[in-house]
Amino acid sequence: MGYYTAYTISFKGDEKRIEALKKEILKTSGKLTGYSDAGVRELLENDCVFDKLYDLKAWIEEAAKEYPDVLVILTGDGDNTEDCWECRWKGEETEEIQVQFVWPEYKNKNLLTEEELKNNKN
């Protein structure tokens, strides 16, 4: 069946260089898989897609190496609720962060459990 992810992508930099990088990403996806993926094309044309693009990060990483002046921002929100991340590339530099869900503290102390009251520092 496979694992779907909702992807969004954005680019920062010179428009001509961004368009060239988009073409390179599409070409790289075809070169590494043997075909041009319709999901990659849709992502690059619409800035979002819901698909199974398992190697998308590798394709972007390969293509971005020649574009150190363009920032690529890719976000993913997978089928698993804990699979939410953002990855950025600029040339050969890359970094990925995972979203961390943190519950805020309740302000009304009457709504806290005894355990929460013991752990509450306020």
For residues 63-89, give the mean pLDDT. 93
Domain locations in the chain? 5-98
- Residue 5 clears pLDDT 80, i.e. is over it: yes
The SS3 assignment for 30 reads helix
Full DSSP string of 31-50? HHHSS--HHHHHHHHHSEEE
pLDDT at residue 35, rounded to an integer? 59
pLDDT at residue 28, rounded to an integer? 87
For residues 19-23, give the mean pLDDT. 96
Full DSSP string of 59-122? HHHHHHTT-TT-EEEEEEEESSTT-EEEEEEETTEEEEEE----PPPPS-GGGS-HHHHHH---
